[in-house]
Structure 1
Amino acid sequence: MKMGCLPVPASWPLKRWLGLGLVVFHCITLGCAQEKKVAKSKVGEKVGLPCCYKIPNSESLQNYRVYWQVNVTDVVLAYSGGEKIHEHSRYVNRTKLDLKNLTLWIYGVEILDRGPYQCIVQSLQSSPDKPGSHLLCGEPVTLFVTADFSEPNIERKITASSCESTEMVVRCSSHGGFPKPRIYGVLNNVSVVLNTTWESESSLSPYNVTGTLWLNVTKDINFTCFVEYDDFVMSTSLLLAKANDCIISTALPSYNVITASSIIIITFLLAIILAAKYLPRHACSRCSKNQESADEDVKEIMNPPKSSKVTCEMSSL
């Protein structure tokens, strides 16, 4: 059932319709003039929305008409003469009215439950100065609903490294929370701005958030990521360590140097092989020639000369 302020049976007489018009007028006037109260809850919890009127101990709910409405147009729960006369389909089995202080209890709070509520109380008892039903209060209260974000997760990816510094991309992400959060980082107690992206099916759906930071790290540094939503803050810290490995580039020798070195090595090896093969033969041949000449000399010395023999023979004659 949707109405400006109050649902009423179609069979009400004109006098009551006029009275209802006054109630609506007072309802809107009071809602604008009075300071709004605030109630907060998390998704899945229960919350009590306080009403602006409390029934005296000497009386009962039978003497009153009580309406709880949301967003001005939707009646959440309505009682008249001590009996429930209306309950919104989205709040069935999730609401309960305190019969004394008229607090509206909402169980299993959802994100869609957030918004402005208003408690409207009418007295059904007439008096000489106030004939018929009359408005007692119509005070508003705003419900804020939050959903906890997951603990922020920090990941880093090294993109380049040298002896002097390490370049890296740092990402911080969190999901499943409400309302739309603020995400930021702190590097050694200095706040830094992150490149932020949000994902959500609608403005009344949980959010996923990611913050990205590009860094050139010259020394180890502590990074803390904060996710802030409503009055709540979640945080995670990670030590961003500079890479210890130094990459020293060594230039490869040119093609000409490699070729020349190869030729020298091959030539040297061939020289060694040839020397090992031919030098022993040459030495042996020279030794054999020397030996032959020595043997001939010995033979000449051992044999007497022929001329001496002829001379002896002639002398004997």
Structure 2
Amino acid sequence: PPHLPPLIFLYLLFIYILLNAAPLKSQAYFNKTAYLPCPFANPQNISRSELVIFWQDQEKLVLYELYLGKEKLDSVDAKYLHRTSFDEENSALQLDNVQIKDQGSYDCFIQRKTPRGLVLLHKIDSELLVLANFSEPEILQVSNSTGNSGINLTCSSTQGYPKPMKMYFWLKTQNSTTEYDSVMQISQDNVTELYTVSISLSLPFLDGVNNATIFCVLKTQPMKILIFSQPLPIGKAASQGDLFRFMLTICKRKKKKPGLSYEGDE
């Protein structure tokens, strides 16, 4: 077959690179603002009045269009109307009031209007990950209906995304620490798509143990952050006064107060 002219070959190579470039990654928090990047060097210093810039989601719905320097609202899908704007300084689309359903892939297109029609100059794919902080885990002591000697505990955390990696109880004494694994019970809100998780534990009374406390720990993803509950005193040192002060602290705590946290090693 005949060889392609150099200019056509370079153009086809450019289109191939555009279509196969790895997508840019971005993150945003639930109900906050996301930024979908579309970096464009513009080496020819082309005026905005000659460009058509727009973003599409994975269903090919238009989020925003800047047509020859002016916003074109009639192209924007109703689900994105009045939620998007162009951050010209950072060459990114600003998407407000982010919801879990906004997570996914997006495409940015930059075209130049010429006498022969629109010419594609630039295309960027991006992946948006939406996160929501789980509330501080809360330990509750439940009544013992089995008649066994010991204490029954539950722990729950709400309004988070994505699903956490793990949830467990962590018992700390003067001489040791013990981790009690438990199967997470997970539910998801039909509207917000946020998760609520809980676990339970039956623990025998700790005879002869002083200064023991138990925590509930939630390990989130993707950043593997550990969120600790307030400590619950148990064992001989856990007098009724200690338990009363613990419950009083729980009652006074604000909802979703951030707990102790650090990045896990795993």
The TM-score with structure 1 as length reference comes to 0.58
1:105, distance to aligned residue in structure 2 (A) = 0.5
Q: Describe how 1:7-86 pairs up with structure 2 within 5 A.
A: 26=15, 30-31=18-19, 33-55=20-42, 58-85=45-72, 86=75
CA-to-partner distance for each residue in 1:105-157, whole Å, 9 max, x for gaps? 0122222221111111122247xxxx653322222111111222221110123
Task: Name the CA shift for 1:88/1:238 in 2 (closer, same or farther; >3 Å).
Answer: same
Contact 1:63 1:124 in 2 (8 A): yes
User: What secondary structure is seen at the aligned counterpart in 2 of 1:30?
Assistant: helix
For 1:275, the equivalent position in structure 2 comes to none
What is the rounded CA distance, in whole Å, between the counterparts of 1:239 and 1:201 in structure 2? 29
Corresponding residue to 1:133 among 106, 112, 118: 118
User: What secondary structure is seen at the aligned counterpart in 2 of 1:90?
Assistant: coil
Contact 2:99 2:192 in 1 (8 A): no
For 2:248, the equivalent position in structure 1 comes to none
1:187, distance to aligned residue in structure 2 (A) = 2.3
For 1:196, the equivalent position in structure 2 comes to 184
For 1:229, the equivalent position in structure 2 comes to 220
Contact 2:186 2:196 in 1 (8 A): yes
What is the rounded CA distance, in whole Å, between the counterparts of 1:233 and 1:134 in structure 2? 50
User: What secondary structure is seen at the aligned counterpart in 1 of 2:97?
Assistant: coil
User: What secondary structure is seen at the aligned counterpart in 1 of 2:184?
Assistant: strand
For 1:111, the equivalent position in structure 2 comes to 100
Contact 1:226 1:236 in 2 (8 A): yes
User: What secondary structure is seen at the aligned counterpart in 2 of 1:62?
Assistant: helix
Q: Which structure 2 residue ranges, 5 or more long, are not aligned?
A: 1-10, 238-266
1:210, distance to aligned residue in structure 2 (A) = 0.8
For 1:186, the equivalent position in structure 2 comes to 170
Q: Which amino acid aligns with 1:53?
A: F
User: What secondary structure is seen at the aligned counterpart in 2 of 1:181?
Assistant: coil
Larger radius of gyration: 1
1:57, distance to aligned residue in structure 2 (A) = 9.1
What is the rounded CA distance, in whole Å, between the counterparts of 2:205 and 2:21 in structure 1? 55
Cα RMSD for the two superposed structures: 3.3
For 1:6, the equivalent position in structure 2 comes to none
1:175 aligns with 2:139: no
The TM-score with structure 2 as length reference comes to 0.68
User: What secondary structure is seen at the aligned counterpart in 2 of 1:91?
Assistant: coil
Task: Name the CA shift for 1:180/1:144 in 2 (closer, same or farther; >3 Å).
Answer: same
Number of aligned pairs? 214
Q: Which amino acid aligns with 2:96?
A: Y
Contact 1:52 1:137 in 2 (8 A): no
1:102, distance to aligned residue in structure 2 (A) = 3.1
Q: Which has the higher contact order (CA 8 A, sep 6+)?
A: 2
Moved more, 189-198 or 40-49: 189-198
Contact 1:166 1:242 in 2 (8 A): no
For 1:95, the equivalent position in structure 2 comes to 84
Task: Name the CA shift for 1:42/1:66 in 2 (closer, same or farther; >3 Å).
Answer: same
Contact 1:69 1:118 in 2 (8 A): yes
CA-to-partner distance for each residue in 1:79-120, whole Å, 9 max, x for gaps? 222233321211111110134653100122222221111111
Corresponding residue to 1:210 among 185, 190, 198: 198
What is the rounded CA distance, in whole Å, between the counterparts of 1:88 and 1:119 in structure 2? 15
